[in-house]
Amino acid sequence: MIVEVKHLTKKFPVGKAYFTALKDLNLSFAEAEFTGLVGPSGSGKTTLLNIIGSLDVPSEGEVIVLGKSVGRLSPPEAALLRKQELGFIFQNYNLLPVYTVFENVEFPLLLLDMPARERKKRVLESLSWLGLSDKVNSRPAQLSGGECQRVAIARAMVKRPRLVLADEPTANLDSVNSHNILQAMLKLNQELKTSFIFATHDEKVIGYLKRIIQLEDGRVAEDRLV
Amino acid sequence: MKLFKTALKSLLGNGLKTWLTVFVLSVSFVLIIFMQGLLEGWSRQAVIDAVAWEIAGGQYWSEAYDPYDPFSLDSCARDIPDQLMPAAESGLLEAVLISQGTIYPQGRMQGVILKGIDPEQQIVKLPTRLLAGEGPEIPVIIGAHMAKQAHLKENDLVTLRWRDANGTFEAADLRIAGIFVTTVPTIDNGQIWLALDKLQSMMLRENQASILIASPDYEAQQLEGWLFKDVEELSSNTIAMVKAKSMGMAIFYLIFLLLALLAIFDTQTLAIFRRQREIGTLVALGMTRKQVQWLFTLEGSLNALLAIALGCLYGIPLFIYLSTNGLSFPIDVSEFGLPVSDVMYPYYSLKLIVGTIVFILLSTALVSYLPARQIARMNPTEAIRGKMH
């Protein structure tokens, strides 16, 4: 298993009380899955994604990502896990605005101290996969929403992570761009055996998923293979 | 290096705002070095001039001599000690008798300090040869500032009244044998120089002196009743006065620096809130919050590096020009009360330049670090969504 979620509960302080976003959740994700966490706003999709991504920690229970319990990782250990094994795709792309497309995609490899020649090869390869070879020197402000999200996917994939976490990746895209993006991710999942976990309530995404986990009020309402 | 490149790219990505901050910072950087160089040059010139005109290789002071106590000036003179006589006769020491008197230029009354010195002396730069000569009037030399104050010109006659060692009032006419131009006010303002033997006889103080000026070749010895003051001690007051005068100037460039630092602080504080999504993304990509904090601190500090580079572009030619050609003072600085020459040559030492660079770097790093501490407290999941307030 690439991810194991055991009796996970996550509470957030709201004033003097607590809001429970995830309640005693038990899940596991195998390698090369193309899974979606679906459900309405507030169902706990993003919270679960953040904990799997070691950006947040469980209040109770345990989440084991690639053999590491995220709740027990120190900040540098959690950063190392994200740096080496995880890729993130965000709803708002979150590209670094002053960087070119090439530099945005190159950034995770810089953090890995990869040699310059290898970096360049990997970046150009990733951009080629996603049909962005002609946008190498463009800045995010010069790109369309679909192109920005493809850059974000290239950035997430360039280091060949074992797991990619995508939070509402198509929320800001039109139908054509959404399908293009999803096809690109599916291709990467099939060719590189990278696991994808989506948090989404977009029907277009759901159509591509191989496993759907329905969350409702912080609990798993349904977990089915498509 | 990785952090450096990232920080530099983000900083340059801010465009005009960065360059405006960098420009203001570079001006304060150049201004600090310019002003400090000017002060250093002034100090050096003041000491060099004071040594040439007054201090020479040091001075013996009669134990009772206090240049700031006019009441003791007339009685502070002592017999020149026998041990010093050979040095005095060979020109290694020059005796100076100091006393007081009153002159009456154009019917006005003005108190003066009388200083007697050997006309043949060669230790200090004073044109004392003009003091030699016989005549009904006593030949004296005065400084240009004193001449201006008393409205005296060369060959003018002026009446002097003094009180001798017995307390008897005497009077004689003085002839202005020469007017010298010096930057050292302590040998000019309110002072009249005349031949030592003449003043000794006028004051009934044969073979007495208040101070003895030593040649640089003279080796000082301990003597009872006389204190030897070396160059460092005698010039310390001048340096202290120059520094005190320059404190007012320092306020201007410190205000300028403060404005630049405030701009950096403001930019940093705004950037941390405006760029929280970027901060969250950097954390998601594998940086720790501490690393992002240092990245932002470095980014702010790079303002200083760019400012230093920019400052060097226009500062170095300016400093080379000024230290070669000097800086003219179009105003009359004779009233300044301190040694100031017409043309000042700033002195830019390596210590000054390196010190200023380190000061600017440290203060910029500090104002960059303070707002960046906020990053360590950020929740990355909220930062990614830009939801922090």
Contact state of B2 with A108 under an 8 Å Cβ cutoff: no
* Cβ separation A110–B2 shorter than 8 A: yes
Phi, psi of B235 (to 5 degrees): -95, -5
pLDDT at B104: 95
- Tell me the mean pLDDT in the region A91-119: 93
A69 touches A63 (CB < 8 A):
yes
- Chain A closest-CA separation from residue B389 CA (Å): 16
The model's pLDDT over A168-203, given as tens digits with 9 standing for 90+, comes to 998 888 888 888 889 988 988 998 899 999 999 888
Whether residues A79 and B6 touch (CB distance < 8 A) is answered with no
Choose, out of A110, A148, A167, the residue to mutate when testing the contact with B (most B CBs < 10 Å): A110
* Pairwise CA distance, residues B161 & B150, whole Å: 15
- Tell me, yes or no, if A108 comes closer than 8 A to chain B by beta carbon: yes
Domain boundaries, chain A: 3-225
Instruction: Using alpha carbons, select from A186, A183, A162 the residue that is nearest to residue A31.
Output: A162
Contact (CB<8Å) A90/B384: yes
Q: Please check whether residue A172 touches B, CB under 8 A.
A: no
Nearest to B286 among A97, A98, A111 (CB): A111
The residues, any chain, with a CB within 8 Å of residue A74's CB and separated by 6 or more, are none
pLDDT on residue B332: 59
Check residue B320 and give left, alpha or beta (phi > 0: left; psi -120 to 50: alpha): alpha
- CB distance B277–A97 less than 8 Å? no
* DSSP H/E element including B100: strand B93-103
Nearest to A194 by CA among A165, A224, A167: A165
Nearest to A94 among B13, B281, B290 (CB): B281
Alpha carbon of A153: minimum distance to chain B alpha carbons (Å): 13
pLDDT one digit per residue (tens) for chain B, 389 residues = 677 888 888 788 778 888 888 898 898 888 888 888 888 888 888 888 899 999 999 999 999 999 888 888 888 999 999 999 999 889 899 999 999 999 999 889 999 999 999 999 999 999 999 998 777 899 999 999 999 999 999 999 999 999 999 999 999 999 999 999 988 888 999 999 999 999 999 999 999 999 999 999 998 888 889 999 999 999 888 778 777 766 777 777 778 778 878 888 888 888 888 888 999 999 999 999 899 999 999 988 898 899 999 999 999 999 999 888 888 776 555 556 566 667 788 888 888 888 888 988 999 899 989 988 888 888 888 888 876 55
Res B14: pLDDT: 74
Say yes or no: A55 contacts chain B, CB-CB below 8 A.
yes
DSSP A115: -
Tell me whether residues B290 and A110 touch, CB distance under 8 A. no
Closest CA of chain B from A171, distance in Å: 13
Question: Which residues pair with residue B111 across a beta bridge?
Answer: B102
Instruction: Tell me which chain A residues have a C-beta less than 8 angstroms from the C-beta of B283.
Output: 55, 79, 82
A165 confidence band (pLDDT: 50, 70, 90): very high
Give CA separation, A89 vs A75, A114, A155, B142, in Å: 21, 22, 9, 87
Mean pLDDT along residues A26-40: 94
CB B25 within 8 A of CB B304: yes
Please give the Cα distance from B387 to A165 (Å, whole number): 20
CB contact under 8 Å between B6 and A110, yes or no, is yes
CATH number of A3-225: 3.40.50.300
Strands B191-195 and B110-117: parallel
Contact across the interface for B278 and A90, Cβ inside 8 Å: no
SS3 B258: helix
Name the DSSP letter for residue B336.
G
pLDDT at residue B204, as a whole number: 94
Structure confidence at residue B340 (pLDDT): 66
Q: DSSP label at B55?
A: I
- Find residue A53's DSSP bridge partners: none
Is the CB of B13 less than 8 angstroms away from the CB of A50? no
Exposed e or buried b per residue across B114-132, where buried means at least 16 C-beta atoms within 10 angstroms of its C-beta: bbbbbbebebbbbebebbe
Give me the residue from B14, B278, B285 closest to A108, CB to CB.
Answer: B285
What is the DSSP code (8-state) at residue A112?
Answer: T
Tens of pLDDT, residues A134-164: 999 999 999 999 899 999 999 999 999 999 9
pLDDT at B337: 59
Q: What is the average pLDDT score of chain A?
A: 93
Instruction: Kindly provide the ipTM of the predicted complex, given to two decimals.
Output: 0.92
